[in-house]
Amino acid sequence: MSTINLRVWLIIPDAEAATVKNTLIRRMGCGDILADVKKERLFSIDVDSGDPEVLAKAFAKELVNENKESHKVLIDTLSFEGAYVPVKVSLHIEDGEAISTRDRLRNRLGFKNVMSVKKATIWKLYLKGDDKERAAKEIAEGLLINPHKDSYEILSLAEDASLSR
């Protein structure tokens, strides 16, 4: 079993990330700790057979709009690079969009080796100050999640997950 992590981000301006940044700075007083906000979609696709590299290219062709998005594939790992704190937000209730994506890959496109698909949003918080993890936690709980349906993890840049909520 392999997990194909497909990270997808816009190469055109991201209105949602801009709105989150403006809300954090103008309405929530985070201007002194927040430099920027960016966003990625994350598809984690579990497959039970086949060459993960070949499958990843096929999945990217289906799930990435190359006119406006770029992507990165990671096999059996999830890592981040850069000067930001990655916050992974995902549903802790049934995710209809992830189920639909799994069914499309399995049934419409014939990838019977797709066992599951999980979808999440990665918020890339460019923070200033000493306690970036605390600031990321406050931002996640104050704006990025709805506690009735979402959960979040503050991921580290070098390893998979460092803190879960």
- Give me the CATH number covering residue 30: 3.30.1280.10
Residue-wise pLDDT tens for the chain (165 aa)?
999 999 999 999 999 999 999 999 999 999 999 999 999 999 999 999 999 999 999 999 999 999 999 999 999 999 998 899 999 999 999 999 999 999 999 999 999 999 999 999 999 999 999 899 999 999 999 999 999 999 999 998 654 344 444
pLDDT reported for residue 104: 96
Strands (E), the chain: 2-10, 34-47, 69-75, 85-91, 114-127, 150-155, 161-164
Q: What is the CA radius of gyration of the chain?
A: 16
pLDDT digit string, tens, across residues 128-143: 998 999 999 999 999 9
Alpha carbon distance 55, 88 (integer Å): 24
CB 74 within 8 A of CB 53: no
Q: Which domain holds residue 63?
A: 2-164
pLDDT reported for residue 4: 98
Number of domains in the chain: 1
Which residues have a Cβ under 8 Å from the Cβ of 116 and sit 6 or more positions away?
45, 46, 102
The token pair that represents 111 in the structure block: 């990838």
pLDDT reported for residue 157: 63
Half-sphere exposure of 78 (CA within 13 A, CB side): 24
Alpha carbon distance 101, 46 (integer Å): 12
